[in-house]
Amino acid sequence: MEWEDDAFVLSARAHGESGAIVELLTAEQGKFAAHIAGGTSRRMKPILQAGSRVIARYRARVSDQLGSATVEPVGEGVGSLFDDPLALAGLASAAAVAAAALPEREPHPGAFLAFEALVSALALPDIWPAVYVRFEAGLLAELGFGLDLSKCAATGSLDDLIYVSPRTGRAVSRDAGEPYKDKLLTLPMFMLSAQGGLGPGDVRAGLDLTGHFLEQFVFGPLNRPLPPARVWLTDRLDDADRL
């Protein structure tokens, strides 16, 4: 089995004397683990940071074994974010959520594109937290648990959608949701449209929304909590008054 693909590094851990087991999110192959010889070397460590973009070349004698890979860096890598700890926290959270949520060796091109869009936005401090929320919403959709924000679940109305049902993930209008508002999730406007604007509390509402459905549909059935890096990101954004 052999392939070559664009990829993002999701995680890397030492293996043996100098090797590393690396999880990659690839454009066409999905999430793949591979052994990289010399992965803990001084030269390779910067390339294998979570979020780094690479060209990966993979080889295995049989398809179901852990194969080996070589990687070549693409672009600046995460070094350009070293002066922005908050953006690094966002990148670490996205990598941890993708690594924990995506199944092995199953193509999910939408997840790759969502991750790519987030990485591109991390240099824009005013907008990347909202793009992060959209990344998680895209990941849910790619896994078959997409939110239906097109119309009110109760009335079919297209207007004044401000809530989401925590059970179904469908939007609810202001009037229909008023009697149940304490039980509904808040729907921030930026999740309805790129021109929806970003107001105070919107990022928190978005993270609460996607976090709820990640827990309900993805991590709950696996008996796992949200990854610690995701919890830490929320805390860091709160400390920085960016929610």
What is the maximum span of the chain, computed from C-alpha positions, in angstroms?
63
**Whole-prediction pTM:** 0.94
pLDDT attached to residue 65: 87
Tell me the angle at which helices 202-213 and 128-142 cross, rounded to the nearest 10 degrees.
20
For residue 86, is pLDDT > 90? yes
For residue 132, is pLDDT > 80? yes
Question: Do the beta carbons of residue 27 and residue 6 sit within 8 Å?
Answer: yes
SS (H, E, C) 31-81: EEEEEECCCCCCCCCCCCCCCCEEEEEEECCCCCCCCEEEEEECCCHHHHH
- Set out the domains of the chain in order of their start, with CATH numbers: 2-77 (2.40.50.140), 84-149+187-239 (no CATH)
For residue 17, is pLDDT > 90? no
Mean pLDDT of the chain: 95
Q: Region 98-124: what's the mean pLDDT?
A: 96
pLDDT attached to residue 193: 81
Strand partners, 59: 2, 68
pLDDT attached to residue 138: 96
pLDDT tens figures, 160-217: 999 999 999 999 999 999 999 999 999 999 999 876 678 899 999 999 999 999 999 9
Residue type, 161: L
Overall size of the chain counted in residues:
243
pLDDT attached to residue 16: 87
